[in-house]
Amino acid sequence: MTNENSETIHHRICPFCEACCGLEITVAQGCVKRIRGHAADVFSHGFLCPKGVALKDLHEDPDRLRKPLIKRNGRFEEATWDEAFAEIERRLPPIIAKHGVDSVALTLGNPIVHKLALLLYAPRLGRALGSKNVFSASTLDQMPKHLSCGLMFGDFLSIPVPDIERTDFLLMLGANPMVSNGSLWTVPNFRDKAKALRARGGRLVVVDPRRTETADVADEHIFIRPGGDVFLLLGMVHTLFAEKLVHLGRLAKHVAGVEVLESAVACFAAEKVSGRCGVPAETIRTLARTLSAAKHAVVYGRVGTCTQEYGTLCSWLVDVLNILTGHFDEPGGAMFPKAAALQSNTLGNPGTGKGIVTGRRKSRVSGAPEVLGEFPMSCLAEEIQTPGEGQVKALITVASNPALSSPNGERLSTAMDQLEFMVSMDIYVNETSRHADVILPGTSPLEDSHYDVAFSQLSYRNHARYSHPVFPRAADRPEEWQMLLRLIGIIQGKGATADINQIDDELLMDDLRRTAGPFADMIFKAGSQRRGVERLLDLGLRTGPYGDQFGMKPDRLNLDKVEAAEGGIDLGALEPRVPEVLRTPSGKIELAPAMLIADLKRSAADLGRPMPELVIVGRRQLHGNNSWMHNLPVLAKGAARCIALVNPTDAARLGLEDGGRARIAHDGRSIEAEVEITDEMMPGVISLPHGWGHDQSGAQLEVAAANPGANMNALMDENRRDPLSGNAVLSGVEVEMRPVAARVLAGQAR
């Protein structure tokens, strides 16, 4: 669209967080002039946050790499694409030939789910490589939820979300959507949705060791001891059984394991668990009663409930509560989205399936079980550093920054220097990619097309939205799916100059043979008009639950239609999907999976554990995104600073001053941060944002380096995980804290 000032208006879904807001981007003279929320977007209705505006800064960031880099004699030099792939071909295949495929590890980072090309093709790279050493941000984030949902519903990606627009009671644990804008729950403009909930007489209750921005807009905030959620949730489940408040409603005939669950929770009465979670027994009982009595209600737990040693139990119990109170798969409760394209639980036989398996392999050093085809990210350093058969010798990172995002980054950084070869697909020379031998920079989001394959599976409403590229790519620049195909060609032994279109065809045909059987050839031919991501997306839409079935249902969806719909296509409110959504072998919701029931023993044994005096939790900040947006000026001049929040009683006990600096230590490792004293923190808990620590040599992040902050993950233990999911423990870790004398500070070069 062009207006009278010869400005063009473009619509682009924001790729920065899970809210997936539709943006309106005004371009003049080849530059972004303005970014606003797209008012006519059917899903986000004009909402945006400060990060959305920063797309301009990202696009223009001089530190964002445009050309591949090859490290020669310890220094990065710009190279052509052909040179970069030739270097990879020279160095990677010999390592595979000598040490086997498992000697090459792959790390997959968070931006992959926000970029169509990476989302659809990084798994292809993983399959082509065939290494068991695959690690991703999922084990720093949401693996517990994948596992609990996989066990209960039969598919790792069958994750229910709150139907916020129709609920009367939302109980939220370990999430702060006022800042994060939601996670495993695509819900742009949480603020107005929460406001509307309260305006219609509903209640929002937030359980968090910090009185968060979300707690500030809630009816009630309840402090909880970090890591204590499993006990609170068990106390609630116990109350439901003890007070005969269980009513499964419509789902009664679709649920297995109620009795097993009832006896397994018998020892977790509210009075028993109260001390361990720091929530009064009466509050626990009242929460259970309110949940049961509400007409439409939903419990939701996120990062704070996953990044702890009982992450899988917490994730499970959240859904157990929804199910036991009749709020599961019901309007206003926890519901399953039905995405238009590529959602695994819309494939196969509705209502039954193979379920999930985990532990098909164990990691070499710690013996951690594989979950969803991965090992815990926190095992990567030991896999590199421990000699022996199967040792990791080479690493490919795709949009991941584990040097900052995963526990004990210092050890991992040392380990990365010990590799024989490392490739980073990344847009910056940062804390991780500085260790690489070759960096392949991805395109700016404004140069790609986009469709949220992952987040439409987690959305508060069903929808289909596609964005065209805002700017053309430079002629010599491959798209990210093309880079991944080049890597695949190298790994397959076809070489760096192999015909990637042919590889793409072969991979698609392999997929179709697996998923479409006798229709494979027909579908392949039907896709022949398009290539790459658009081809996969078009086929996904056409064969999906709203699809045109290649003309058999002509009024339904294909990519042409979604592309043409400015602002997207609304596919309606969430609808009940049980039993159709289930893929468990029993065809039922498994309320009491054996693995989880067995794990309750661990939490029972832990009820009397003495509580440390001081523990640390993380937080997110509106003006940043994990580790990688601190280089964008518009965000850097905002409020994001790496400050430790401390309760006044702790500050007094430790001699800390507001605005002063403190050293925070754990297990011999320490960092330094500014202190803010605030009663928003629970006594005994401090909060520090993650993703900081941009003072590492060799990174090229000029803006971020000016205000580097400290890396809280330097304190975390790489050996502490939820044993079921492999998720790292990033919350509730014991720390010591002491003031840093001003005099010392003055003489200190940081």
Query: Which residues here bind ligand SF4, judged by CB under 6 A?
Result: 14, 16-17, 19-21, 48-49, 51-52, 181, 188
- Within 699-744, strands assigned E span 733-734, 736-740
Pick between residue 325 and residue 401 the one whose CB is nearest to Mo ion: 401
Is 718 one of the binding residues for Mo ion (CB under 5 A)?
no
* φ, ψ at 504 (rounded to 5°): -60, -45
Place of tokens 């804008």: 181
Residue with Cβ nearer ligand MGD (180 or 322):
180
- Residue from 126, 188, 333, 442 in contact with ligand MGD (CB under 6 A): 442
Span interacting with ligand MGD, options 179-187, 315-323, 378-386, 651-659, rule CB under 6 A: 179-187
Residue 72, SS3? strand
Matching residue, tokens 């109620």: 258
Residues in the chain: 750
Query: Strand, coil or helix: what is 406?
Result: coil
CB 713 within 8 A of CB 730: yes
Type of residue numbered 15 = P
Pick the piece of the chain touching Mo ion (CB under 5 A) from 137-145, 336-344, 377-385, 437-445: 137-145
Q: Which does 543 bind (CB under 5 to 8 A by kind): ligand MGD, ligand SF4, Mo ion, none?
A: none
Interaction between residue 209 and ligand MGD (CB under 6 A) = yes
Q: Which residues of 596-609 are buried (b: 16+ CB within 10 A; e: fewer)?
A: bbebbeebbeeeee
Task: Give 670's contacts (C-beta < 8 A, 6+ positions apart).
Answer: 663, 664, 714, 715
104 vs 559: CA distance, rounded Å: 36
Residue 593 contact, options ligand MGD, ligand SF4, Mo ion, none, Cβ 5-8 Å cut-off depending on partner type: none
Whole-angstrom distance, CA of residue 334 vs CA of residue 164:
9
Q: Indicate the residue among 346 and 687 with the shorter CB distance to ligand MGD.
A: 687
Q: How many residues bind ligand MGD (CB under 6 A)?
A: 64
| Residue 436 binding ligand MGD, by CB under 6 A | no
The minimum distance between CB 602 and ligand MGD, in angstroms, equals 16
The smaller minimum CB distance to ligand MGD, of residues 181 and 239, is found at 181
Smallest distance, Mo ion to C-beta of residue 729, A: 15
Cβ–Cβ under 8 Å, residues 319 and 353: no
Least distance (Å) from ligand MGD to the CB of residue 78? 17
Residue written as token pair 């000032």: 5
Out of ligand SF4, ligand MGD, Mo ion, none, which partner does residue 144 contact, by CB within 5 to 8 A per kind?
none
Backbone angles phi, psi at 440, to 5 degrees: -110, 105
Smaller CB separation from ligand MGD, 132 or 666: 666
Closest residue (Cβ) to ligand MGD?
A: 304
730 binds, among Mo ion, ligand MGD, ligand SF4, none (CB under 5 to 8 A by kind): ligand MGD
713: contact with ligand MGD by CB under 6 A: yes
Distance CA 192, CA 188 (A): 9
Q: Residue 717: exposed, middle, or buried by beta-carbon count in 10 A (0-12, 13-18, 19+)? A: middle
Chosen residue from 183, 186, 345, 584 binding ligand MGD by CB under 6 A: 183
- 537 vs 728, which CB is nearer to Mo ion? 728
Q: Which does 426 bind (CB under 5 to 8 A by kind): Mo ion, ligand MGD, ligand SF4, none?
A: ligand MGD
Q: Which does 48 bind (CB under 5 to 8 A by kind): ligand MGD, ligand SF4, Mo ion, none?
A: ligand SF4
425 binds, among ligand MGD, ligand SF4, Mo ion, none (CB under 5 to 8 A by kind): ligand MGD
Of 440, 432, 433, 442, nearest in space to 410 by CA: 432
Burial 182-220 (b: 16+ CB within 10 A, else e): bbbbbbbbbbebbeebeeeebbbbbbbbbbbbbbebbee
Under rule CB under 6 A, residue 696 binds ligand MGD? no
Single residue of 411, 461, 690, 721 touching ligand MGD by CB under 6 A: 690
14 binds, among ligand SF4, Mo ion, ligand MGD, none (CB under 5 to 8 A by kind): ligand SF4
Under DSSP, the state recorded for 610 is: P
The correct pick among 189, 325, 625, 727 for binding ligand MGD (CB under 6 A) is 625
Q: Are 415 and 24 in contact (CB under 8 A)?
A: no
Binding residue (CB under 6 A) for ligand MGD from 102, 229, 370, 590: 229
Stretch that binds ligand MGD, among 68-76, 194-202, 364-372, 624-632 (CB under 6 A): 624-632
The nearer residue to ligand SF4, 22 or 693, going by C-beta atoms, is 22
- Judged by CB under 5 A, the stretch of 140-148, 192-200, 397-405, 481-489 that binds Mo ion is 140-148
Rg (CA), the chain: 25
- Residue 181 as a binder of ligand MGD (CB under 6 A): the answer is yes
Q: Which is nearer to ligand SF4, 50 or 739 (CB)?
A: 50
Dmax (CA) of the chain: 77
140 binds, among ligand MGD, Mo ion, ligand SF4, none (CB under 5 to 8 A by kind): ligand MGD
Question: Which residues, including other chains, have CB under 8 Å from residue 444's CB and lie 6 or more apart?
Answer: 58, 59, 64, 427, 471
Dump strand ranges (E) for 562-657: 569-573, 589-590, 615-619, 643-646
Is 405 a binder of ligand MGD (CB under 6 A)? yes
- 618 contacts which partner out of ligand SF4, Mo ion, ligand MGD, none, CB within 5 to 8 A by kind? ligand MGD
Output the residue with the shortest Cβ distance to ligand SF4.
52
Residue 567 · residue 42 · CB < 8 Å: yes
- How do 334-335 and 203-207 pair as beta strands? unpaired
Q: Are 167 and 185 in contact (CB under 8 A)?
A: no
For residue 299, give the 3-state DSSP assignment: strand
Near ligand MGD by CB under 6 A: residue from 278, 691, 709, 726 = 691
Give yes or no for residue 141 binding Mo ion (CB under 5 A).
yes
According to CB under 6 A, which one of 158, 180, 366, 696 is a site residue for ligand MGD? 180
Min dist CB 70 to ligand MGD, Å, is: 17
Rank residues 368 and 728 by Cβ distance to ligand MGD and give the closer one: 728
Structural contact between residues 312 and 725, judged by C-beta atoms closer than 8 angstroms: yes
Q: Which residues, 6+ apart, have CB-to-CB distance to 518 below 8 Å?
A: none
Q: Name the residue nearer to ligand SF4 (CB basis): 182 or 540.
A: 182
CB of 720 closer than 8 Å to CB of 309: yes
Identify the burial level of 736 via C-beta atoms within 10 angstroms of its C-beta, where 0-12 means exposed, 13-18 middle and 19 or more buried.
middle
Q: Number of helices and strands (H, E) in the chain?
A: 27, 29
Q: Which is nearer to ligand SF4, 14 or 656 (CB)?
A: 14
Question: In this chain, which of 317, 636, 730, 735 binds ligand MGD, going by CB under 6 A?
Answer: 730
The 10 Å CB-count burial string (b at 16+, else e) for 653-683 is: ebebeeebbbbbebeeebbbbbbbbbebbbb
Exactly one of 61, 89, 102, 141 binds ligand MGD (CB under 6 A); that residue is 141
Residues engaged in binding Mo ion (CB under 5 A): 141
Residues engaged in binding ligand MGD (CB under 6 A): 17-18, 109-111, 115, 137, 140-141, 173-177, 179-181, 183, 207-210, 212, 224, 226-227, 229, 302-305, 307-308, 399-402, 405, 425-428, 430, 432, 442, 617-622, 624-628, 687, 690-691, 712-713, 730-732
